A and B are shown apart, each in its own frame.
Chain A
Amino acid sequence: MTNSSFHASGDSRMHVAGTGIDAPMMSVHGVRKSYRSGAGSLDVLCGVDLRLERGEFIAIKGQSGSGKSTLLHLMGLLDAPDSGEVRLAGERIDTLSSSRRDRLRNTSIGMVFQSYHLLPELSAMENVLAPLLVRYGVLDWIRFRSQARSRACELLERFGLGARMHHTPRQLSGGEMQRVAIARALVGRPQVLLADEPTGNLDSVSGAGILDTLGRLNREDGLSIVMVTHDDAIAARSDRIVRLVSGLVEDIGEPNDAVIVAA
């Protein structure tokens, strides 16, 4: 319960983007969320504060049911908090109209899920293009099609999927599917990447590959990342670890400390 200290902990990468804007990339203030289950209601988040600086890579740790995914969904505008606020680059986004939230989700936030969530009817290439297909109407699509395709190609090749572009998800391995999902999350050039246990369904080798990819994106592209995991070793790849315990944030600090704590 050391929210104030958490706020202070920006690192040097905060200024990588070089925008000079003081507002953090994304912040969550006093967010509460409860679900009605059966007779009573279940409080999942009880006033969570979180601050993601520009270019920062945060890992959110916690046991099953601790509300990690819920927090990520609130940040990804897939759900609305009961109270509290969510800000993106200083602007409050949780109270926007649904069409503007749809727009933000499409343009500014990339999401990666544990079970990949690719569309089975589409090829790897088309899955990557999906956010752009959602963004553009028919006419715009015709205008931007070649641009979009080259962007998708570039991402797939970067993730070593150049030869798998026209395969459907069913023909891909788990690691490949997750790389397609990351490419999809990045194709629209989002400001934030939200990853919900991205290695949860993968073997250790594939998982390590995905983590390398995320790390590289963070270091090389300065992408701000929030990753949910319950694995300490994976959390250690981040800049900072945040632990959720019974709906509240516990700041753990630098990964090295975290490893010690976990040990």
Chain B
Amino acid sequence: MYKLILCWRYLRTRWIALASVVSVTLGVATMIVVNSVMAGFSHEMQSRIHGVLSDLVFESHSLGGFPDARWHMDEILRTSGDDVLGMTATVAVPAMLNFQVRGQWVTRQVMFIGIDKKTHAQVGDFGRYLQHSLNREQLSFDLREGGYDTHDSQSDDPTPKRPAMEDAGWPHRRKRVERERIWREKLEAVDAAEHPTDRAIDTVFPATNNSANTEIEPLVPPVFENGDATDNALPSNETPATNDPFLVARPQEGRTMDPSQEQFVGIVPGIGLASYRDVSGVDRFLILPGDDVKVTFPTAGTPPKAVSDTFTIVDFYESKMSEYDSNFVFVPIESLQRMRGMIEPQTGIASVNAIQIKLKPGVNPEQVRDRLRRIFPAELYSVSTWRDKQGPLLAAVDMEMAVLNILLFMIIAVAGFGILAIFYMIVVEKTRDIGILKSLGASASGVAGIFLGYGLALGLVGAGAGLAIGLAITWNINSIRVGVEWLTGQRVFDPSIYYFFKIPTIVNPFTVSWIIFGAVVIAVGSSVLPAIRAARLHPVEALRHD
């Protein structure tokens, strides 16, 4: 009993010892904040990756893919039907995306992904990442009349950071076509009067329109292959513009269309391909929904031949993973299969590159993966979980967290040595009291118990204070960030780098318990040596100590 009372009294009267646990407090607080923020980032990243990738990806090694997705899906259902929630087929090919900004051709290397608009949203968060509210409910590859979000629908901040999107859709397309018509008429007039070489310069560097979103699409009377997107394309006598390199490679067959009323096959590029964020945090767009782009991609044959086609942007995809947002372009799978020649002419059976599988909640993806790997030969198919796909990235994040934790625990260990030194001094200071207790019949282990208990109490106080401070910082980290930015005038957290508007945090009770436990163990551990010294003190010598 005396141990408890003395621990309590020492705790209340020895402020210097409390000073020694300040380092424990700071260490614990830092660890909680760092772990929560890292876990927040990691979780945010994983959920974005997972939103893009389905639970399981079943794919072919070949760019040409494998035929008959239906049969494969039935096979998958036959072996793992109980675990599967949804499946969708995709075709993914590397491609070049080309578009013109103020007369200059911009080319981006992209992953061109054919998706089934009906089922794709079932296997991931794809739907959530689109910019039109109706598309978020059900994706359509038809251009919308308007109503695209002018703010980031995934952030809480309702201020419109994307004013250009106000106009996106058919209004933008009609304006553009009208502008081009005027240009064409002017050029024709000029052409009639002047030397043809001057005209080319004017076309390439038009003097009007400084806005980034009003690039001049050259006079492209789009020519469709049979049966594409437009059923009621109007015949036109317009001649194709000669400065469009893609038209040269394309067979001039079929009808032309009226771009102010019709669109090409719709595509959804990642928002990073089309926009950039300026210093004020406003997103500027190079192209908008309603604009046409050209994509060059390989056919399915051997050797693959490059084919090109024109597409109309109908929405943007924003997963907030810049790797995906600046790389992915989504297109209707049927169009891509047809353009790449993936449909068997006799049977009409189409090939696909991959089947994305969504599993039921709680199902272990590794188990299903291994089951599928046993059935489908590894020479032909690869089956991987979304974690396998992003293994190195996730491993790097885990590694980073582990190293940080080790370093921060070192800080607490340093604090442990501080406790040891101060405890040693307290034992020296309390030598006479120890002698008194021994003269009253306290045992050596009892005396050691006082100091171990004292260490435990200090550890608990230090870790408890650290817990409180750490949680307070974690839960208010965004206000703190704003405060620090206001104080220093420096940007602490730039959303244009991270694509998060707030610092994400997750307080994991398990991690927090471990941190607290570790800190308390260190505090008790560093009081062991002083406690042993106290226990070994000779009562007579201790009583004589002044």
Contacts and interface: CB of A to CB of B under 8 A. Distances in A.
B540 A119 contact: no
A138 interface: yes
A107 interface: yes
Interface stretch (B27-35, B430-438, B471-479): B430-438
Contacts of A103: 441
A105 B436 contact: no
B441 A135 contact: yes
Given A73-B540, A133-B5, A78 B443 contact: no
Between B2, B441, B538, the greatest number of chain A beta carbons within 10 A of the residue's beta carbon is seen for B441
Interface stretch (A16-24, A120-128, A223-231): A120-128
Contacts of A107: 441
Interface in A88-135: 98-99, 102-107, 111, 113, 117-122, 126, 130-131, 133-135
Contact of B539 (A79, A120, A137): A79
A130 B2 contact: yes
B440 A106 contact: yes
B2 A117 contact: no
Contact of B13 (A98, A99, A121): A121
Given A73-B540, A78-B540, A117-B543, A137 B1 contact: yes
Q: Which 6 A-B pairs have the closest CB atoms?
A: A106-B441, A133-B2, A121-B9, A141-B1, A105-B441, A78-B539
Interface size classification for chain A? 20 to 34
B5 A126 contact: yes
Contact of B441 (A120, A122, A134, A140): A134
A204 to B, nearest CB: 25
13 contacts: A78-B539, A78-B543, A79-B538, A79-B540, A103-B441, A107-B441, A117-B432, A119-B6, A119-B433, A133-B5, A134-B2, A134-B437, A141-B1
Nearest to B10: A121
Given A79-B540, A134-B2, A117 B435 contact: yes
B436 A133 contact: no
B240 interface: no
Interface string B1-22: 1101110011001000000000
A184 to B, nearest CB: 8
Nearest to A70: B540
Nearest to B13: A121
B125 to A, nearest CB: 56
A119 B430 CA distance: 10
Interface string A65-88: 000000001001011000000000
Contacts of A120: 433
A117 B9 contact: no
Interface of A: 73, 76, 78-79, 98-99, 102-107, 111, 113, 117-122, 126, 130-131, 133-138, 140-141, 184
A126 B6 CA distance: 11
B274 interface: no
Interface string B430-468: 001101111111111010000000000000000000000
B540 A98 contact: no
A78 B439 contact: yes
A78 B5 contact: no
Contact of A102 (B6, B9, B441): B441
A134 B9 CA distance: 15
B407 to A, nearest CB: 38
B5 A102 contact: no
Contacts of A136: 1
Nearest to A79: B540
Between B5, B440, B444, the greatest number of chain A beta carbons within 10 A of the residue's beta carbon is seen for B440
Interface in B523-544: 538-540, 543
A197 B333 CA distance: 103
B6 A121 contact: yes
B440 A76 contact: no
B539 A134 contact: no
Contacts of A134: 1-2, 437, 440-442, 446
A106 to B, nearest CB: 3
Contacts of A184: 440
Contacts of A79: 538-540
Contacts of B540: 73, 78-79
A78 B6 contact: no
Contacts of A113: 439, 543
Contacts of B437: 119, 130, 134
A103 B446 CA distance: 12
Contact of A122 (B1, B5, B446, B538): B5
Contact of A119 (B436, B444, B538): B436
Contacts of B13: 121
A113 to B, nearest CB: 7
Interface string B69-100: 00000000000000000000000000000000
A130 B443 contact: no
A23 B432 CA distance: 35
B439 A76 contact: yes
A117 B439 contact: yes
Contact of A111 (B5, B432, B439, B442): B439
Contacts of B4: 138
Interface in B237-273: none
